[in-house]
């Protein structure tokens, strides 16, 4: 990556390494995933899942019972989060999404907004197709395009194991429970074991009932450039089908020359394809027509 004062945008190199993206636990045999069912929260904060019970001959209306999904202990929730990250790395064959990047340089009153179509093919292919741009051309060329290129470079060259949220890279300290967007989450403080590019010092928020990663926030332990004083980020995640993806990244950097730089990345319309689906499609194509 070129050495410029805008190199703070390689923030995405280590943000992508955070992705403790999860899938629901696989059932025996590894071929299917647990189905999604409606749920609601009981007064004590637990999640109830309706279970239909077949009606007897003399009952005209089916009975409904509920099974309460228990809140996970902190250690278990963290293990599930890590396990789902590993499963997703194995099961995600590809995805497409629409990405909107908004960048601002407040000190120079420059800004730009770029919308692109994103395509990922496991394990190391990432491409972007331009849809529209509005704003300052300087911001487009020197900020947003560099941001996108850094994501491509990360996908092609970096080792995800070196930046994964795992015991090999971090020490975890439990900080209790909290409410985040209506979800009860376990909060963990992260301290990197090494001062290595791609690692960060901060916190992660894990759903107390599912083990899904909900948010990661903090500051990298190693600045991507001598021109950058600091970078702070917040990244939110959401469940998309059987997978979990980042949906919003907010980052703020303070540079020695241009001052503050603010970047927001919004991702929507995810279309993921699981490995089993991809293999099934390929097999179907190989079956000769009758």
Query: Strand locations in 75-142, DSSP E?
Result: 92-105, 110-121, 125-135
Instruction: Express each pLDDT in 55-111 by its tens digit.
Output: 344 434 344 444 567 999 999 999 999 999 999 999 999 999 999 999 999 999 999
pLDDT at 82: 94
pTM summary value: 0.74
| Displacement of CA 197 from its chain's centroid (Å) | 19
Task: Look at residue 2 and tell me whether its pLDDT is greater than 50.
Answer: no
pLDDT of residue 256: 77
Q: Are 158 and 183 in contact (CB under 8 A)?
A: no
- In this predicted model, what pLDDT tens digit does every residue of 247-257 receive, in sequence order? 999 999 987 77
Q: Is 160 helix (H, G, I), strand (E, B) or coil?
A: helix
Contact 246, 260 (CB under 8 A): no
pLDDT of residue 281: 59
- Pick from 20-29, 82-91, 240-249: least confident: 20-29
Predicted confidence at residue 74, as pLDDT, reads 97
- The per-residue pLDDT for range 170-216, each reduced to its tens digit, is 999 999 999 999 999 999 999 999 998 889 999 999 999 999 999 99
- What average pLDDT does range 235-259 have in this prediction? 90
Q: Which of 19-28, 116-125, 236-245 has the lowest mean pLDDT?
A: 19-28
Give the other-Cβ count within 10 Å of 235's Cβ: 22
Class of domain 72-272: mainly beta
pLDDT bin (cut points 50, 70, 90) of residue 276 is confident
How far apart CA 83 and CA 211 sit, in angstroms, is: 9
Q: What pLDDT shows up at residue 259?
A: 85
- Which whole-number Å values give the CA distances from 257 to 26, 109, 162, in the listed order? 50, 15, 31
Task: Pick the range with the lowest mean pLDDT from 61-65, 136-140, 223-227, 274-278.
Answer: 61-65
Residue 68 has a pLDDT of: 65
Residue 9, helix vs strand vs coil: helix
Strand partners for 110 = 105
Please give the average per-residue pLDDT across 34-57, as a whole number: 38
Average pLDDT over residues 20-36: 32
Q: Any alpha helices (H) in the chain, and if so which ranges? A: 11-17, 74-91, 137-139, 145-157, 275-286
163-169: average pLDDT: 93
pLDDT at 278: 64
Question: Which of 170, 244, 232 lies closest to 206, judged by CA?
Answer: 244
């Amino acid at each position: 990556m070129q050495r410029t004062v805008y190199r703070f945008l390689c923030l995405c190199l280590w943000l992508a390494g955070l992705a403790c993206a999860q899938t629901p636990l696989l059932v025996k045999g590894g071929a299917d995933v647990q189905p999604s069912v409606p749920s609601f929260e009981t007064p004590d904060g637990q999640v109830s899942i309706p279970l239909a019970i077949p009606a007897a001959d003399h009952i005209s209306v089916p009975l409904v019972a509920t099974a309460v999904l228990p809140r996970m202990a902190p250690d278990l929730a963290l293990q599930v989060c890590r396990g789902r990250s590993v499963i997703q790395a194995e099961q995600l064959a590809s995805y497409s999404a629409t990405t909107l990047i908004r960048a601002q340089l407040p000190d120079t009153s420059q800004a730009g907004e770029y919308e692109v179509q994103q395509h990922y093919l496991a394990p190391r292919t990432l491409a972007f197709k331009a849809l529209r741009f509005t704003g300052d051309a300087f911001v487009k060329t020197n900020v947003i395009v560099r941001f996108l290129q850094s994501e491509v470079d990360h996908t092609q060259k970096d080792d995800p194991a070196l930046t994964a949220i795992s015991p090999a890279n971090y020490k975890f300290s439990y900080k209790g429970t909290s409410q985040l967007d209506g979800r009860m989450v376990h909060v963990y403080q992260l301290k990197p074991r090494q001062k290595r590019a791609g690692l960060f010092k901060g916190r992660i928020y894990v759903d107390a009932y599912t083990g899904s990663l909900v948010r990661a926030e903090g500051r990298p332990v190693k600045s991507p450039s001598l021109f950058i004083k600091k970078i702070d980020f917040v990244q939110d995640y959401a469940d998309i089908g059987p997978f979990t993806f980042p949906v919003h990244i907010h980052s703020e950097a303070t540079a020695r020359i241009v001052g503050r730089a603010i970047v927001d990345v919004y991702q929507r319309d995810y279309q993921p394809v699981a490995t089993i689906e991809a293999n099934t499609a390929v097999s179907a194509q190989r079956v000769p027509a009758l």
